[in-house]
């Protein structure tokens, strides 16, 4: 059966998620995974992995979920592979970084892991002064000067905050900065936290 990931905004109150699940069940679909992506200001962003009996029911599913009061579907993506638990995948990525036998292998893991984990368009690992692209992967990957310029322009503190399509994490022990881009869907709180945690492993 086809599987899809629905990213939904919903009121952060008891019963809201149950109402969404009821609508999903109403089209004979099963919720097989739930990830909380962000919470705050009385709202939550959740990703629901849904097993549909047939792909033709997708539009009906989205319409039904959208009928729940206060709920909006932000994104739908097909799941071409078996469902991955975000926490398990994050641990596997972290283990790859922590056990890398060389700086080069670590750098590669630090761009390939987040790209897979966050379904990003590209990921870059840079060093500032001079501007150096240590490692990079993905479509539309900009050059070192652009990435480093963005990092400098973002300033200190929560680097990259306010730019929804970019997330940034520092790698303190090595002077590297990790930048991830996802144009089609904003990067949310938990995803940014995962990236920061990965950077800290370096």
Do 105 and 68 have their domain in common? no
Q: Are residues 90 and 179 in the same domain?
A: yes
With contact defined as beta carbons under 8 Å apart, do 38 and 188 qualify? yes
Name the token pair of 49: 């992995």
* First CA to last CA distance, the chain: 40
CA–CA distance, 143 with 33 (Å, rounded to integer): 37
Residues 36, 128 within the same domain: no
| Structural domain total, the chain | 2
- Per-residue pLDDT at 190: 85
At 52 the three-state DSSP class reads: coil
Same domain flag for 170 and 116: yes
CB 98 within 8 A of CB 201: yes
Which of these three, 78, 96, 131, is where a domain ends? 78
Predicted pLDDT at 41: 86
Q: Give the Cα separation of 31 and 50 in Å (integer).
A: 5
Are 92 and 72 in the same domain?
no
Task: Give this prediction's pTM.
Answer: 0.77
Q: Are residues 98 and 150 in the same domain?
A: yes
The predicted structure's pLDDT at residue 160: 47
Same domain, 111 and 168: yes
Cis bond before residue 130 (omega within 30° of 0): yes
Q: How many helices (H) and strands (E) does the chain have?
A: 6, 8
pLDDT tens per residue across all 202 residues of the chain: 799 999 999 998 999 999 999 999 999 999 998 989 998 889 999 999 999 999 999 999 999 999 999 999 999 999 876 666 777 778 888 888 888 999 999 999 999 999 988 889 999 999 998 999 999 999 999 999 999 998 888 754 444 456 788 999 999 888 899 999 999 889 988 889 888 888 888 7
Same domain, yes or no, for 66 and 92?
A: no
Asked which of 78, 108, 136 is the last residue of a domain, the reply is: 78
Q: What is the pLDDT of residue 83?
A: 63
Say if residue 168 is in the same domain as residue 197: yes
CA-based nearest residue to 139, from 184, 198, 104? 184
For residue 22, the model assigns a pLDDT of 95
Vertex 111, ends 142 and 99: CA angle to 5°?
Answer: 155
Taking the C-alpha atoms of residue 166 and residue 170, their distance in angstroms, rounded to an integer, is: 14
Q: Within 13 Å of residue 102, how many CA atoms lie on the same side as its CB? A: 3
Tell me which residue range forms the domain holding 152: 86-201
Q: Are residues 38 and 95 in the same domain?
A: no
Residue pointed to by tokens 């149950």: 18
Query: Does residue 96 share a domain with residue 59?
Result: no
Confidence at residue 173, expressed as pLDDT on a 0 to 100 scale = 80
For residue 162, what pLDDT is reported?
61
On whether both 172 and 137 belong to a single domain, the answer is yes
CATH code, 20: 3.30.70.260
Q: In this predicted structure, what is the pLDDT of residue 152?
A: 87
Domain final residue pick, 59, 78, 97? 78
- The pLDDT assigned to 202 comes to 72
Q: What is the DSSP letter of 143?
A: P
């Amino acid at each position: 059966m086809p599987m899809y990931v629905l990213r939904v905004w919903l009121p952060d109150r008891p019963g809201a998620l149950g109402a969404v699940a009821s609508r999903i069940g109403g089209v004979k679909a099963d919720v097989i995974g739930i990830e909380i992506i962000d919470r705050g200001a009385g709202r939550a962003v959740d990703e629901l992995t849904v097993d549909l009996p047939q792909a033709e029911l997708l539009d009906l599913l989205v319409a039904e979920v959208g009928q729940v009061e206060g709920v909006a579907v932000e994104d739908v993506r097909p799941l071409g592979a078996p469902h991955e638990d975000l926490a398990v995948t994050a641990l596997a990525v972290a283990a790859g970084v922590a056990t890398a036998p060389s700086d080069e292998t670590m750098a590669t893991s630090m761009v390939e892991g987040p790209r897979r984990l966050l379904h990003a368009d590209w990921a870059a690992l840079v060093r500032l002064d001079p501007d150096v692209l240590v490692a990079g992967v993905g479509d539309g990957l900009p050059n070192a000067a652009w990435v480093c310029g963005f990092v400098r322009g973002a300033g200190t503190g929560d680097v990259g905050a306010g730019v929804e399509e970019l997330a940034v994490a520092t790698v303190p022990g090595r002077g590297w900065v990790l930048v991830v881009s996802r144009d089609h869907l904003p990067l949310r709180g938990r995803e940014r936290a995962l990236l920061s945690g990965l950077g800290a492993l370096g």
